[in-house]
């Protein structure tokens, strides 16, 4: 073969390679165009921070329903606390304007009462005294009747988080948020304890806990609280083990009157069933969504259950009803097992979350909806991010577990468009600070350029 022939073949090879490369670039550009703005696709798909974990993004114009940008929008992710938006949606459709605090019947000289799941009785952050005042003022003898309810922990929860404030036990009649609060001052040997009845259950930490970074460690199966030494002031909150006996004891202690116990008697529930109403629902929604309160979200679904039947409190029944009757128009099948998103058994897609946001925006006045959510630079879990001295521009719900950080909500662009978005990150290796920073950088570009 002559040198001229070799040169021609070499040049043909280069030409074909360039053509293929050009074709690949054109194909990539065409796919990106279908997804949305090419500059946004480059920011996400080529970000070195987002390369080693699973990322999904969905961006939709609220006014028109136009799909502005999609990236892995059909893939399933563990949503973490963004699931609270589904619980919120259930509450909007199943609860009245006020929370149902307790139910009761009067039989001769006795008042028999049971729980609805209302978590606000003497709660430390969203306290309600309405049920307390009602029971305190009644002349009848008081008898508590425990209604059948869900397990104290949800399916797929981490058992070893039992000690932490974000995972109190669920139940039909919570009191004090089912937690003990500790207030310690440097130099004092024992912290102040609320409710005070638990003071006798507080002990110095044994040697096995001294390397812990916690202030308080509770025994796994009993209400013994071990306090670790510290040279600083601190406040901590630890869940207590719930039981019917403990509840009636706490009620007697705070009401200063006797409270008896009765076994569950479905025959008691009749035409004379009465309900004591509590706080306005937005008081609970605001706290639940802004700071991502798991306990309030779980109890919200139990309160919803009271609207579907008086025989038991069932999270599963509420989820089944809402999915069958209210969420049939979602783009993908939703895997939904608890109210808070603590479970890793929950699964959803970015476009499903965005579809829920569109439904919420249609059904709830924007001013009220945005006020209930965390807001960038202003309130809740977003108060230290998405700041702008010219005003609020992003409202949303975060979802964080180990190796997971998600954000879904609404943003207002410089041109005044309101966009619903879901930005999900699963399987993050290690610390997620860089991912949060990158999300903020990208969403700020969305605000400025769309």
The tokens for 63 are: 């006014």
**23: in domain:** no
**309: in domain:** no
pLDDT at 33: 47
3-state helix, strand, coil in the chain (%, to 5): 40, 25, 40
Give the rounded percent of residues in the chain with a pLDDT score beyond 70. Answer: 92
**381: in domain:** yes
pLDDT band at 283 (very low <50, low <70, confident <90, very high): very high
Give the 3-state secondary structure of residue 121: strand
Give the 3-state secondary structure of residue 415: coil
Mean pLDDT along residues 240-256: 96
pLDDT at 7: 53
**10: in domain:** no
In whole angstroms, give the CA distance from residue 212 to residue 14. 64
pLDDT at 24: 53
pLDDT at 95: 97
**256: in domain:** no
Mean pLDDT along residues 344-350: 98
* CA nearest to 375, candidates 341, 405, 409: 409
pLDDT at 394: 98
**pLDDT at residue 16 greater than cutoff 60:** no
Contacts of 357 (CB under 8 A, 6+ apart): 60, 62, 85, 408, 409, 410, 420, 421, 422
Mean pLDDT along residues 135-149: 96
**444: in domain:** yes
CATH number at residue 417: 3.40.710.10
**pLDDT at residue 327 greater than cutoff 80:** yes
Q: What is the largest CA-CA distance in the chain?
A: 114
pLDDT band at 230 (very low <50, low <70, confident <90, very high): confident
Last residue of a domain, one of 197, 223, 241: 241
pLDDT at 339: 98
Mean pLDDT along residues 135-161: 96
The tokens for 93 are: 């459709």
pLDDT at 32: 46
pLDDT at 36: 77
Cα distances (angstroms) measured from residue 106 to each of 183, 313, 339, 401: 40, 22, 33, 46
In whole angstroms, give the CA distance from residue 268 to residue 143. 12
pLDDT at 162: 97
209-213, 221-225, 317-321, 387-391: range with lowest mean pLDDT: 209-213
2-6, 95-99, 232-236, 310-314: range with lowest mean pLDDT: 2-6
Last residue of a domain, one of 219, 241, 263: 241
**pLDDT at residue 190 greater than cutoff 90:** no
In whole angstroms, give the CA distance from residue 62 to residue 418. 6
What is the separation of C-alpha 190 from the centre of its chain, rounded to a whole number of angstroms? 33
pLDDT band at 8 (very low <50, low <70, confident <90, very high): low
pLDDT band at 25 (very low <50, low <70, confident <90, very high): low
pLDDT at 13: 60
**pLDDT at residue 34 greater than cutoff 60:** no
Mean pLDDT along residues 171-183: 97
In whole angstroms, give the CA distance from residue 403 to residue 77. 12
Q: Which helix (H) or strand (E) holds 349?
A: none
**pLDDT at residue 311 greater than cutoff 90:** no
Mean pLDDT along residues 353-364: 98
- pTM here is 0.91
More confident residue, 189 or 115: 115
CA angle 55, 58, 60 (to 5 degrees): 165
Last residue of a domain, one of 225, 241, 257: 241
pLDDT at 425: 98
**pLDDT at residue 26 greater than cutoff 70:** no
Contacts of 124 (CB under 8 A, 6+ apart): 176, 177, 179, 181, 194, 237
Mean pLDDT along residues 346-372: 98
What is the number of structural domains in the chain? Answer: 2
pLDDT band at 12 (very low <50, low <70, confident <90, very high): low
The tokens for 311 are: 């025989």
Q: What is the mean pLDDT of the chain?
A: 92
Mean pLDDT along residues 174-184: 96
**380: in domain:** yes
pLDDT at 96: 95
Q: For residue 326, count other CB atoms closer than 10 A to its CB.
A: 16
In whole angstroms, give the CA distance from residue 167 to residue 147. 22
More confident residue, 341 or 30: 341
Q: Which residue matches tokens 């009644």? A: 138
Mean pLDDT along residues 135-162: 96
pLDDT band at 210 (very low <50, low <70, confident <90, very high): confident
pLDDT digits (tens, 9 = 90+) for 77-118: 999 999 999 999 999 999 999 999 999 999 999 999 999 999
**pLDDT at residue 389 greater than cutoff 80:** yes
HEC assignment per residue over 219-249: CCCCCCEEECCCCCCEEEEEECCCCHHHHHH
Whether 353 contacts 79, CB under 8 Å = yes
Domain of residue 230 covers 178-241
Q: What are phi and psi of 431, to 5 degrees?
A: -65, 140
Give the 3-state secondary structure of residue 361: helix
């Amino acid at each position: 073969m002559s040198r001229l022939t070799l040169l021609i073949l070499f040049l043909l090879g280069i030409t074909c390679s360039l053509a293929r490369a050009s074709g690949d670039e054109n194909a990539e550009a065409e796919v990106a165009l279908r997804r949305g703005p090419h500059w946004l696709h480059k920011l996400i798909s080529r970000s070195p921070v987002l390369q080693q974990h699973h990322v999904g993004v969905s961006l939709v114009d609220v006014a028109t329903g136009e799909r502005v940008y999609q990236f892995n929008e059909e893939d399933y992710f563990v949503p973490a606390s963004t699931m609270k938006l589904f619980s919120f949606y259930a509450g909007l459709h199943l609860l009245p304007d006020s929370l149902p605090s307790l139910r009761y019947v009067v039989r001769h000289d006795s008042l028999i009462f049971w729980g609805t799941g209302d978590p606000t009785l003497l709660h430390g952050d969203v306290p309600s005294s309405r049920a307390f005042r009602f029971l305190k003022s009644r002349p009848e003898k008081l008898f508590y009747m425990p209604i059948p309810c869900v397990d104290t922990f949800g399916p797929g929860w981490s058992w070893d988080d039992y000690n932490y404030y974000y995972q109190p036990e669920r139940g039909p009649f919570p009191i004090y948020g089912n937690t003990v609060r500790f207030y310690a001052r440097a130099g004092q040997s024992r912290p102040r304890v609320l409710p005070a009845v638990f003071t006798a259950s507080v002990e110095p930490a044994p040697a096995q806990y001294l390397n812990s970074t916690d202030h308080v460690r509770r025994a796994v199966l009993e209400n013994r609280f071990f306090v670790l030494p510290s040279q600083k002031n601190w406040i901590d909150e630890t869940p207590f083990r719930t039981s019917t006996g403990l509840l009636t004891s706490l009620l007697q202690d705070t009401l200063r009157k006797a409270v008896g116990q009765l076994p569950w008697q479905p025959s008691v529930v009749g035409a004379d069933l009465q309900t004591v109403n509590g706080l306005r629902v937005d008081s609970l929604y605001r706290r639940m969504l802004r700071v991502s309160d798991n306990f309030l979200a779980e109890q919200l679904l139990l309160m919803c259950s009271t609207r579907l039947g008086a025989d038991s409190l069932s999270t599963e029944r509420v989820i089944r009803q809402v999915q069958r009757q209210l969420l049939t128009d979602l783009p993908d099948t939703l895997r939904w097992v608890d109210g808070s998103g603590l479970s890793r058994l929950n699964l959803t897609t970015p476009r499903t979350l965005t579809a829920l946001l569109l439904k919420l925006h249609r059904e709830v006045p924007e001013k009220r909806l945005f006020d209930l959510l965390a807001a960038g630079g202003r309130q809740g879990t977003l108060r230290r991010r998405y700041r702008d001295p010219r005003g609020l521009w992003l409202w949303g719900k975060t979802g964080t577990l180990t190796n997971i950080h998600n954000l879904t909500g609404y943003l207002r662009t410089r041109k005044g468009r309101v966009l619903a978005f879901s930005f999900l990150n699963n399987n993050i290796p290690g610390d997620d600070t860089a991912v949060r920073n990158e999300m903020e950088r990208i969403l700020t570009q969305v605000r400025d350029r769309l």
